[in-house]
Structure 1
Amino acid sequence: MDEGTSQYYFTASMSSGKTLCSLLKAIQFQECAVFCAMSEGLKFTVEEGKCVQASAYVPADNFTEYHVRDDVDVMFKISIAVLVECLNIFGSGEESSLKMYYRSEGSPLLLVLQPQSVFNVMTDCEIATQTAESALELRADAAAARLVLRAPALLGLLAGLERSGDTLELRVSPDHPHLSFLSYGMQDRSCVDVPKSSEMIQSFHCEEPITLKYQLYHIRLIMKALAISSKVVMRCSSNGLLLLQLKLEKEDQRQMFSEFTIVPLLDDL
């Protein structure tokens, strides 16, 4: 592609698309995502019914080149499954440089990938785009509790709970044991208490006890994101929404993020 960027709504380049691919896999629980290019970076959003919304954020400083026209809205629907497959076209073990181009509304998203270990080899991909529908608006009230947790520790805890039932009850309190995870179904029940002195908890703020229930299936949707993240910021809002921001730190210290917003069970609204 020798043409200038001015004729494109969006162009971007990065030395390796491997981390981006991992981040997209972490929210790949639906076929399609809404792709949004903003001046501050890229955002990919998927939804599970009207109960879970997940977004992957790639700040602009992760790209070697990044340009978005400021006179148009660059937002469209795209198959996240196809995008992940294209990013992984040379294999999961191969580092490949990535260039992305989006010409105008209705145009395909163009990808150019070149493996770093092989010279004079590259592949072009075109991924069809569709008009994006309006995203689900999940508005959280003021945070009743805010915690910063170590992602690997939370992953291990949830992995131990996930076969125990179909409901997760989350209790946060300024008093001991501070944080409790209870899972139960028709017959099984398990509980894990985590005091704020635990190595799992890096920061803890809660002024009043709060108890909320969620479908365990919805909580499981964060497992892939936890597996590639270092830290989780958890917010329990007063209207019951659970907000989770997961930070993925790269070797160059730049960050990418994923965020999950989970709606509580109806009887707890």
Structure 2
Amino acid sequence: MASSSQFEDNAEQYVFSCTLDNVRNLSNILKAIHFKDHAACFTTKNGLKFTVENSKCLQANAFIQAGIFQEFNISEESVMFRINLTVLLDCLSIFGTSAAPGTSTALKMCYQGYGHPLTLFLEEGGVVTVCKINTQEPEETLDFDFCSTNVINKIILQSEGLREAFSELDMTSDFLQITMSPEKPFFRLSTFGNAGSAHLDYPKDSDLIEAFQCTETQTNRYKISLLKPSTKALTLSCKVSIRTDNRGFLSLQYMIRNEDGQICFVEYYCCPDEDVEGADT
């Protein structure tokens, strides 16, 4: 058991430390990318980025800005490690996920550097629990080379519009086909499942669409098995930015408002299902 004074006595030995009054502001965002056991954590003065990947076809990033934390200290330019995300989430919810109204679990998270565990001090109602989670050498993450200058089409949509689409379309389909175009149908989602094909169209002046910047017609297919993990982020989000680049790669950026009204972002990158010319250049 460690008191907060013990934590402060040791503060100078950490290469990274932060505090949060409400641990759910971190755990809810991490749940949105929890589709594999392990995540890479990258820390800079701007905040934390957790990255989870699947089969070199999908990458999810959760961004938690430094301003979300009550205290945020880093003594090196960047700090990186790999961690078991399942264990981290279990520790963050050690006091349970449904705190009574008006109560929250406070968190102090610290890391001494390479080879050391990530240490969590969780406090609720005067009770402190200390968790130490082993860290590993970070593996190189994929570079999807998704560059804004190569973005062909971009739509910002209220999340309820995409949630509605995912509930209406046939998710027994192997893939989701996305058409984005300056002409009709503007924005179309299609599935080809056991019950036949289904299409959902959004006019560019739909109340659900906040921005529509499409320069050329693109139709790409994405494996639904890859997109399904992103529905966790969709459920939490209020807006989603949907972008495709000149290779047909897809970026889904979810804007998530936490319990204190602050904004965090979760981004999913997904390869198109078919070989796209120039995809490996």
TM over 0.5: yes
User: Alignment partner for residue 160 of structure 2, among 141, 152, 156?
Assistant: 152
User: Alignment partner for residue 139 of structure 1, among 145, 148, 153?
Assistant: 145
For residues 39-77 of structure 1, what are the alpha-carbon distances to aligned partners after superposition, in whole Å with 9 as ceiling and x for unaligned? 100000000111000010100000110001125x41111
User: One-letter code of the match for 1:100?
Assistant: M
User: Alignment partner for residue 93 of structure 1, among 84, 90, 98?
Assistant: 98
Report the alpha carbon displacement of residue 152 of structure 1 after superposing the two structures with TM. 2.1
The 8 Å contact of residues 154 and 200 in structure 1, kept in 2 or not, is answered as: no
User: Alignment partner for residue 74 of structure 1, among 72, 79, 84?
Assistant: 79
The 8 Å contact of residues 25 and 259 in structure 2, kept in 1 or not, is answered as: no
- Which residue of structure 2 aligns with residue 232 of structure 1? 240
- Which residue of structure 2 aligns with residue 22 of structure 1? 28
Report the alpha carbon displacement of residue 104 of structure 1 after superposing the two structures with TM. 1.7
1:13 counterpart SS class: strand
Report the alpha carbon displacement of residue 177 of structure 1 after superposing the two structures with TM. 2.2
Q: TM-score under structure 1 normalisation?
A: 0.94
For residues 168-217 of structure 1, what are the alpha-carbon distances to aligned partners after superposition, in whole Å with 9 as ceiling and x for unaligned? 11001111221000111466311111111212211101121111111111
C-alpha separation in 1, matches of 2:170 and 2:114: 42
C-alpha separation in 2, matches of 1:24 and 1:113: 17
User: Alignment partner for residue 203 of structure 2, among 171, 195, 210?
Assistant: 195
User: Alignment partner for residue 103 of structure 1, among 90, 112, 115?
Assistant: 112
- Which residue of structure 1 aligns with residue 273 of structure 2? 265
The 8 Å contact of residues 147 and 233 in structure 1, kept in 2 or not, is answered as: yes
Report the alpha carbon displacement of residue 242 of structure 1 after superposing the two structures with TM. 0.4
CA-based RMSD of the aligned residues comes to 1.5
| Shift >3 Å, 4+ stretches | none
The count of residues paired between Structure 1 and Structure 2 equals 265
The 8 Å contact of residues 170 and 198 in structure 2, kept in 1 or not, is answered as: no
User: One-letter code of the match for 1:222?
Assistant: S
- Which residue of structure 2 aligns with residue 214 of structure 1? 222
Moved more, 49-58 or 214-223: 214-223
Identity of aligned residues (%): 34
Q: Does 1:180 align with 2:188?
A: yes
Q: TM-score under structure 2 normalisation?
A: 0.90
C-alpha separation in 1, matches of 2:274 and 2:165: 25
